[in-house]
Structure 1
Amino acid sequence: MIRHCAKCTKLRGNPVGQKMSNLPQCRTEPEAPFTHTGVDVFGSFKVKDYRKECKRYGLLLTCTASRAVHFKVLEDMNTDCYINSLRSFLAIRGPVSVLYSDNGTNFVVASNEFGKTVKELSEPRIKEYLSTKQCSFSFSTPTASHMGGTWERMIRTVRNVLRGLLIESNTNRIDTSSLCTLLYECMHIVNSRPFTTTTLHSDQNFESIPLTPNNLLTMKNKNLLPPPGSFTSPDLYSHKRWRRVQYLTEQFWSR
């Protein structure tokens, strides 16, 4: 009777364990960095260019296999700005096989724009080449942010720290150029994190070096050295903008 009683089953029954599925194939294939890339937008950040206050956004692109990240500054949330940023990313990191994203309006429109460009071409050979070589878009299910955990987790790593840091440090002292440099510095810090216990041995001093995404991107064992000098909070009000950026970079690294 207890077995057939619904109330007793709820009180005495064991909780159901979640069964995790296997990782997607794009997460485990040994391919070049950014062959399969997830993309998302975070922000906004208020900047001051001359006497005008503007909003800027960050575009995050992350490799699904190496977990490396690449940041770009978006001046607007329209489709044209997104396409230009995507083209500049491809010019730096090379071609991408599949681009994963959510169902953001600018992402969907950009995919449609690329599709129209292919259809408008007249030469069959060009059509065939672009259809096989161009980047394909893969959109996740609407209102299912858990399907984009690959890039959502990387955005949380950067956005929570960067937003609080800029609010505390008086954002109107930062212009667009300084924000671009700050995002690149943050990109280097995030890509310098060790993601495995495997170490690399240097040929010069036999020092154990942790394996990081930067090793796969730059093929170098050494990290970028910080600029000489000490940076303090009064540097935020200095006329030397590079000192502002370096102070914020040190604060981002420490947090």
Structure 2
Amino acid sequence: MADLPPERVTPCIPFQRVGVDYCGPFWIAFPHRRARPTKCFVAVYVCLVTKAVHLELVADLTTQAFLASLKRFSSRRGKPSLVMCDNATNFVGARRELDELCTLFNNQQFPRTISAEAAESNIDFRFIPARSPNFGGLWESAVKSFKTLFKRTIGTHTLLYDEMQTVLTQIEAVLNSRPLTPVSNDPNDYEALTPGHFLIQRPLTAIPEPDLDDIPVNRLSAWQRTQYFMQCLWKKWSAQYLSNLQNRTKWTKERDNLTAGTMVLLKDENLPPLKWQLGRVVELHPGSDGNIRVVTVRTMEGIYRRAISKVCILPIRDNINASSEEN
């Protein structure tokens, strides 16, 4: 595998270099009498350096609609110096609901108009090579996290425009709250670095809401229904994210044992949105063969004993530096 490109590893302010992709279609309705649901799409902007995510609701698949979303993004996050996008031929195998998206990107006028508009604003707009989605793996991963869970959660429900905007903003906060690496190696430090730190210089938090699982959906108000969808999406996505952090090796190879002071994430299905159970390993419990399978973890709420299958190790920078020095 090749090294990461300079755009991914050169430090910069958040959203100075971004990748963008479309996902959809979704259906929304406007609060007017006899208003029919209309089709919409979501533009997913991902910072190439900090992995922060920004979601923009797009009315239709026109060049003007995309440029409008780019201007809204620039007004709130700052004008990017580089924007990377999928190539048209990546959509050749699009399914039926993506036919309009395929038509938009296959239209040669689209990249010409976008590139010309971006050049006037001193924005370098690049299309990745044809049939090479791995060049855009960073934003493809963000699109998968958003689209898969959004469709599983919302299903066939049609949200109002305001509800859709609220859900998108909260999903954006959820994706930007994911822990990336420990802030320090201090055993008494329980804070992890998240994309939200680069945006607001502190962790993203959510307003406390009651658990709505036990209330039928048809008895919920419009606001409660929005929060219900958000809670469902959080439970599915957080479980999926924690599973991805664990290395599924089928136990065919030995791995280094955990060490005291390592920062870990505890699996807990009952945590509220944007809440992560972070802790430090304080005691190891080896088995008869010397391998660690149970650890004692100290968190800000207390001390817990967990199996290693219930904890996820965050990347440790010291280990990376040590391995680079050995090489």
**Which band: TM-score by shorter chain?**
0.7 to 0.9
What are the within-5 Å matches in structure 2 for residues 174-189 of structure 1? 174-189=159-174
Structure with the bigger RCO (C-alpha within 8 Å, sep 6+) is: 1
Number of aligned residues: 216
- Partners of 2:197 and 2:185 lie apart in 1 by 9
Name the residue aligned to 1:113. Answer: 113
| CA shift digits 1:98-140 (9 cap, x unpaired) | 100012435964553355569xxxxxxxxxxx76x61110101
- Partners of 2:223 and 2:193 lie apart in 1 by 29
Per mean C-alpha deviation after superposition, the further-off stretch among 242-251 and 64-73 is 242-251
- Partners of 1:57 and 1:192 lie apart in 2 by 23
Name the residue aligned to 2:233. Answer: 252
Within the candidate set 1, 22, 30, 2:3 is matched to 22
* Distance 1:143-1:158 versus aligned 2 partners, 3 A rule: same
Per mean C-alpha deviation after superposition, the further-off stretch among 223-232 and 134-143 is 223-232
The two structures have a TM-score, normalised by structure 1, of 0.76
Letter in 1 for 2:123: C
- Partners of 1:115 and 1:164 lie apart in 2 by 35
Letter in 1 for 2:179: P
Unaligned runs of 5+ in 2: 89-103, 237-327
Name the residue aligned to 1:12. Answer: none
* Distance 1:117-1:72 versus aligned 2 partners, 3 A rule: closer
Name the residue aligned to 2:261. Answer: none
Per mean C-alpha deviation after superposition, the further-off stretch among 26-35 and 192-201 is 192-201
Within the candidate set 12, 32, 38, 2:13 is matched to 32
Letter in 1 for 2:150: L
| CA shift digits 1:147-188 (9 cap, x unpaired) | 211110111111111111111xx413x112211110110110
> Which structure features the higher share of helix residues?
1
Q: In the alignment, is residue 47 of structure 1 matched against residue 33 of structure 2?
A: no
Within the candidate set 88, 94, 104, 2:72 is matched to 88
| CA shift digits 1:2-61 (9 cap, x unpaired) | xxxxxxxxxxxxxxxxxx111000110111011110000001112233430111111100
Q: In the alignment, is residue 242 of structure 1 matched against residue 223 of structure 2?
A: yes
Q: CA deviation at 1:232?
A: 3.3
The two structures have a TM-score, normalised by structure 2, of 0.60
- Partners of 1:111 and 1:134 lie apart in 2 by 16
Secondary structure class of the residue paired with 2:191:
strand
What are the within-5 Å matches in structure 2 for residues 174-253 of structure 1? 174-199=159-184, 208-221=190-203, 223-232=204-213, 234=215, 236-238=217-219, 240-253=221-234
Identity of aligned residues (%): 23
What are the within-5 Å matches in structure 2 for residues 158-173 of structure 1? 158-167=146-155, 170-172=156-158
Checking the alignment, whether the CA contact within 8 Å between 2:63 and 2:114 is kept in structure 1 is no
CA RMSD of aligned residues (A): 2.5
* Distance 1:112-1:198 versus aligned 2 partners, 3 A rule: same
Unaligned runs of 5+ in 1: 1-19, 119-129
Q: In the alignment, is residue 67 of structure 1 matched against residue 51 of structure 2?
A: yes
